Amino acid sequence: MTSSGPFLRLVAGAGSEIDDAELARRGQLGDRLALEALYDRHVRVVYARAARLLGRTSEAEDATQDAFVEAFRDLARLRDTGRFGSWLLGIVVHQVHRRYRRRRLLARLGLDRGDDDARLEVIAVGMGAEERADLGRVDLVLAKLPADVRIAWMLRYVEGLSLVEVAESTSCSLATVKRRIARAEREFARVFGPFEAEETP
């Protein structure tokens, strides 16, 4: 533990005086308060992303927790501490993958009793019935897709990541990401009709 703790607690609570890079660097040195500040700064985004990707709040909580444990454990390996956020996202996506694999196994055994309480149409609070109906159809399409395809499509269109960011966070090549997203789009086109999504890199 370094001696910078009290100062760090103050500035971390106050806002953005210390950026992720500095906090991660101090975390690498074992400063617990720096890690807490990183946790506070990112936990809501990580949880929200995990919940949307998994469609279940209970699993999202586990995935968030495990992602932070893994991130803090492996923090020393992170060379570019300024990329802490995107690095953490990659870990979250990995945790989401793990949960999909576990879910598939439990489903085969007839033991998957999780409640899909974070499906898109369920979390669409404040939207009209028609929009929720659309999201319900999106959920139905997503449920039929393999996990890697589903995750790639959701990162791209729900989370709004660029193709490069999707590739980085899923540890895949750009070509693989494009192929997965194209596959998902074919399924969506079958339900919603052909469409042209905005093409941003």
Q: Are 44 and 17 in contact (CB under 8 A)?
A: no
- Shortest approach of another protein to residue 11 CB, angstroms? 19
Closest CB to another protein among residues 78, 173: 78
Provide φ and ψ at 192, rounded to 5°. Answer: -100, -5
* Residue 160 in the binding site for another protein (CB under 8 A): yes
Q: How far apart are CA 25 and CA 132, in angstroms?
A: 43
The residue ranges of DSSP E strands in the chain, in sequence order, are: none
The contact mask relative to another protein for 113-142 (x = CB under 8 A, - = no) is x-xxxxxxxxxxx-xxxxxxxxxxxx-x--
Q: How far apart are CA 153 and CA 77, in angstroms?
A: 29
Q: Is 89 helix (H, G, I), strand (E, B) or coil?
A: helix
* Residue 65 in the binding site for another protein (CB under 8 A): yes
* Residue 35 in the binding site for another protein (CB under 8 A): yes
- Residues binding another protein: number (CB under 8 A): 58
In this structure, which amino acid lies at residue 201? P
Residues contributing to the site for another protein (CB under 8 A):
32, 35-36, 39, 43-44, 47-49, 51-52, 57, 60-61, 64-65, 68-69, 72-73, 105, 109-111, 113, 115-125, 127-138, 140, 157-160, 192, 195-198
